[in-house]
A and B are shown apart, each in its own frame.
Chain A
């Protein structure tokens, strides 16, 4: 089915592989940067050293993840040119400036302040140090803003014209940036990043709680993360629902595929399970709930739902992939909601740090935020096929005139390097997270003193004042 001598298939595999790896890192660094800025701010406001402990604990994995994100992102910004040159020539005048803004308002901000955030504590004052953390977090969010604008424009193009060279040229920048699917996608992705990070923090907290539930920083991170999940998970379900309705309006073929609706019909069922058969146009082994399909997409049980039969066969995306990636994402989202609820219940029962069931659930769900993020992106990106710019430019017409052996060789090299580098990076991050944060203030002070410098002395003074005030 997959022709490995076709340079376009190879280029697609390469892009899918590199971007799937890449998205893991921003999903973490967006959430973790905000978390670090938040605990940094709490530390500055309250002077409670527990926040400083949490900052010091989480900045180490953050530094590793951020480094991996930078280098895997660099690959992305060149891959458009190496592998998708026709797309770049045609779409460059529209998406290029958006990416230019991303570099100027996000990458430079992150990179410029990251050095101060990571290494600057004994070089700058506490307030400037906090400002650096804040700017890094702001940079990650600005980056999400621009790149999701680009992605959304490829899904729901607006505000453009086509010139005599066949290029998409800008007509109205406001319409381009705030294209119809952008607000939904942005909110959905930022929530996803926050939720993913909260799950990782909760999972890490749970791992340590199961061994020692008296460690104060561990309790604090677990409690903060579960508050976060309880708040964000339901909001994310709402945002996802709205995003789905928006997609149904602008990309009905994508929604038909991910819901497994081959035929247009009213009072459509919602398939919970099954295997979409693209040859027969049926869902094999289907388990479904009647009427629910219509209700989810229109909030009306009897409404007519557009099926794939409304579109040419050559315009269909891959149905089984979409059907399953979507179900895994939604299923995990519901589990996250349950975890948040469970956290609330145990909190009100006063058993937040004692409930073994809660800790084990949080630990098991810890890494699954990434699975949900990946499945979400697979749903939206595979759902955009067979187009790069939805409805306007086909994927087969977007690739570079590069010979198959070149693409195949680079694909193999990239897969090997990525698995090695990022696999090892994951090991290092897990190793850091397996260490329990220091509990006693004395230990913390000594480690600060060891770093030397007058700033450390200043921080120690601040600590003593706050301890005296308490």
Chain B
């Protein structure tokens, strides 16, 4: 066929390799195309940082719940449906006036999918993965988060088995707010530790 640009745009090399993988896996009966589509739908529309935000808002609002989930998160997360199919164990790490937590995966990009969805590009970048442990204060400053020198920073390195969620500090001026009012203040970055919960805007 002459090259007259009337054909469909040729996908990139990795995209064609994915096509090849998909064809082979479906032909061999190793994956069900409907299951694959369902996974994409789930992550594009149903799983995301709103899950983590709801959890954090409840932790801020309910001291009994907070005590229980910090002590033993897995049974509660399973009950709430925030449970990953990768069989990972979640650890919730709480920010305090003297301690700031941040999360990285230096190996690849392990991340609490059920609570935060798919990680953003920067979380998967070499720059973040290599530098978060070595120079966290500088990395946080690049996110616009300048922490005072007296605030300690603890960096948690995720693995296939253990994932972390940061519980940010509840913003001042939100006393008496309902969980629903608090949820929008809990940003994705605040639960990775590269940001803080948003301050209320009057």
User: Do A and B associate with each other?
Assistant: no
> A residues touching B (Cβ–Cβ < 8 Å)?
none
